[in-house]
Amino acid sequence: MAGKQPATAIEARGISKVFGSGQNETRALDDVSMQIRPNEFFTLLGPSGCGKTTLLRMVAGFEVPNSGAVFLGDEDITGTPPNRRPVNTVFQNHALFPHLSVARNVAFGLEMLGKPRKEISDTVARMLALVRMEQFANQATNQISKSQKLRVALARALAPRPEALLLDEPLIALDHKLRKEMQLELKRLQAETGIAFVFATQDQQEALTMSDRIAVMNAGHMIQIGSPEDIYSRPSGRFVASFIGESNFFEGTVQSVKGDVADIRMPSGHIVTARLGAAKPEGSVTFAVRPEHVRLEQFGVAGTMPAKVTQAVYSGTDTHCHLELDGGERLVARLQNAASGGPAYDKGMRAGVRFDEGAAHVLAD
């Protein structure tokens, strides 16, 4: 059908990128593929050096892959120069012009495109309203705060109405409070503009807060792609389970399988029922349980595993109880503190441990 919107806004197919050669060779990306939907907030999440910035630069056109292809909608743009790609990038340093006013910074890209003066004026006013910076239009960018500079950079990038906006860790220079505020602002901007946002970060909470989907990367590989709930609750392997949030890891042996769950015997002899996901349901396996799904009860309660509290760390809203099961396994329980405050369990106390139903998840690797 003519005019039908492509199923994907951006697609990477088998992208590989190598820097250097011989002993100095670094494989930044290794056969990476992803599909980003129109009007989606998509986050590339991973540790420093995992390849997320290199992948963003591939989409922007600042790097050329050694193999593979990049598509914008249905168009192969692998060889298209950056200035001819309808995508814009917001960098960590925002790259504003300090000698120009806020309004002139936003207008700059439109002027370079040769847009009519009236269209530029109207667009600048609309963009400044969108990022809530109208009152600063005539102020120099070296006289505004870091979060305001980010808003100006976003307005400038959005002004030409790109098909996608790429954001390379733009919140990294902000303090914790401003960072939390701008996370919500970015999500609002994405929803209001309807543009695909591709956001690179190593901050797991940032990714969980803003994203429609997250791609977890490590060492140049795409490890898992899914919704925040999928990534957090159903990690594909140990790297994802440990990188995003906290996890307790246990070894065990599969005793029986029924549908998508398995009964697993721990070294202590206790049987735990765990979800399988994509894991191979046989032999020795590793399963994970998030600390918030570990419950403590009185020592000796039927159906619980006997344990000793080795440390209790108070952190305001929660207490992290470090425990050792009688079988030797170590784990952490995150317990919400009562209104009266203070930990319910102290170092040296005995307790019974159980896991929430469905909390244990067998890892594929």
DSSP labels, 162-186: -SEEEEESTTTTS-HHHHHHHHHHH
- Would you give the end-to-end CA distance of the chain in angstroms? 43
HEC string of 252-319 equals EEEEEEECCEEEEECCCCCEEEEECCCCCCCCEEEEEECHHHEEEECCCCCCCEEEEEEEEEECCCEE
Is the same domain home to 232 and 337? no
In a shared domain, residues 201 and 64: yes
- Residue 250 domain-assigned (yes or no): yes
Q: Please, are residues 112 and 104 in contact by the beta-carbon 8 Å criterion?
A: no
Shared-domain flag, residues 336 and 189: no
Of 206, 238, 270, the position where a domain reaches its end is 238
How far is 224 from 238, CA to CA, in rounded Å?
11
Alpha helices for 42-101 (secondary structure H): 52-60
* Full domain range(s) for residue 317: 246-362
**pLDDT value of position 21:** 82
Radius of gyration, alpha carbons of the chain: 25
Residue 3 within a domain: no
Whether residue 111 is found in the same domain as residue 148: yes
Assigned domain for 90 exists: yes
* Structure tokens that stand for 123 in this block: 């667009």
For residue 265, tell me if it sits in a domain: yes
Of the three residues 212, 238, 264, the one that is the final residue of a domain is 238
Tokens at 29, concatenated: 């990306």
Flag whether 1 is in a domain.
Answer: no
**Full pLDDT tens readout for the chain, 365 residues:** 445 667 899 999 999 999 988 888 889 999 999 999 999 999 999 999 999 999 999 999 999 999 999 999 999 999 999 989 999 999 888 888 888 899 999 999 898 888 999 999 999 999 999 999 999 999 999 889 888 999 999 999 999 999 999 999 988 888 888 888 889 989 999 999 999 999 999 999 999 999 999 999 999 999 999 999 999 999 989 999 999 989 999 999 999 998 888 999 998 888 999 998 776 777 889 999 999 999 998 888 888 999 999 999 988 888 899 999 988 899 999 998 876 655 578 888 999 999 999 899 999 87
Is residue 4 situated within a structural domain?
no
Q: Say whether both 179 and 266 belong to one domain.
A: no
Do 232 and 251 reside in the same domain of the chain? no
Q: From residue 110, give the alpha-carbon distance in Å to each of 104, 142, 268, 278.
A: 10, 22, 67, 49
| Confidence (pLDDT) at 217 | 97
Q: How is residue 140 annotated by DSSP?
A: B
Domain end residue (candidates: 177, 207, 238): 238
The 3-state DSSP composition of the chain as helix, strand, coil percent (nearest 5) reads 25, 35, 40
CATH number of the domain bearing residue 284: 2.40.50.140
What is the pLDDT, as a whole number, of residue 310?
Answer: 94
- pLDDT at position 1 is 42
Q: Are residues 200 and 304 in the same domain?
A: no
CA geometry: angle 116, 120, 123, nearest 5 deg? 135
Q: Are residues 193 and 272 in the same domain?
A: no
How many residues are recorded in the chain?
365
Flag whether 2 is in a domain. no
Q: How far apart are CA 153 and CA 164, in angstroms?
A: 15
Look up the CATH number of the domain holding residue 17. 3.40.50.300
Residue 132 lies in a domain: yes
For residues 292 and 219, state if they share a domain: no
Residue with structure tokens 């995992």? 50
Looking at the fold, whether 145 and 280 belong to one and the same domain comes out as no
DSSP letters, 101-112, are BHHHHHHHHHHH
43, two tokens: 């986050």
34 lies in the same domain as 182:
yes
Residues 309 and 225 in one domain: no
What sign for the dihedral angle of Cα 125, 128, 131, 132? negative
Number of domains in the chain: 2
